[in-house]
Chain A
Amino acid sequence: AQTVTQSQPEMSVQEAETVTLSCTYDTSESDYYLFWYKQPPSRQMILVIRQEAYKQQNATENRFSVNFQKAAKSFSLKISDSQLGDAAMYFCAYRSLNDMRFGAGTRLTVKP
């Protein structure tokens, strides 16, 4: 089974600064998708960004971008110009045709 590892249980960033959340995964498949989800205190899961494994170009959504290293099986999330509303749990997720896995999450604190 595929595994998804988020090695940082907690991260902290100063407002307006940049922070990077790490995610690594293990798979023998060549075709898959990777996602970052945000879960604020309300518990609602919100999709932040997605990356298709066949695309070399890193995905970007406004202040959120990823660094996708397929050979290294690494998928980190960079949040630029951090805002107080970015404080949440962030989950990395892997999906293939036959499997779906979430990482254990990283709790991000944003300091004013």
Chain B
Amino acid sequence: NAGVTQTPKFQVLKTGQSMTLQCAQDMNHNSMYWYRQDPGMGLRLIYYSASEGTTDKGEVPNGYNVSRLNKREFSLRLESAAPSQTSVYFCASSQFPGLAGFYLGEQYFGPGTRLTVT
């Protein structure tokens, strides 16, 4: 049981390049989330998926797109990377569906991806 896995662990991009961050969970969780973590700002929610086939914007969605490929996988795409997107990105999952996943359940976090955009 690996929990929440993320690939890659590190990535360096040039401005304007695109890439997809992958996230998978093997806990049969309904909800999945993408956060970014910047110094002095804690974690901020980018997008979340309350259940397979649904996605919703979080606090800072601009410049990102997501896909809930199936129940296990939730990817985050940067179409045209900008230096302001340099950050550590965390994926998380929760047992409970929808925002109740926030409300009730513990979120399980992946190890993070450190992304640098030059």
Contact = CB atoms under 8 A, between A and B. Distances in A.
Interface stretch (B20-28, B37-45, B69-77): B37-45
The 6 A-B pairs with the shortest beta carbon distances in the complex, nearest first, are A102-B42, A45-B109, A102-B43, A95-B102, A43-B112, A104-B42
Contacts of B109: 44-46
Contacts of A96: 102-103
Contact of A45 (B40, B90, B99): B90
Interface in B62-96: 88, 90, 92
A35 B112 CA distance: 20
Interface of B: 40-45, 58-59, 88, 90, 92, 99-100, 102-104, 106-107, 109, 111-112
Given A45-B92, A45-B109, A91 B102 contact: no
Contact of B103 (A44, A45, A91, A95): A95
Contact of B99 (A47, A98, A101, A102): A98
Interface of B is mostly: mixed
Interface residues of A, number: 23
B11 to A, nearest CB: 15
Interface in A36-64: 42-47, 50
Given A33-B104, A95-B103, A98-B99, A44 B42 contact: no
A4 B102 contact: no
Contacts of A71: none
Contacts of B45: 100
Given A44-B109, A44-B111, A45-B92, A33 B103 contact: yes
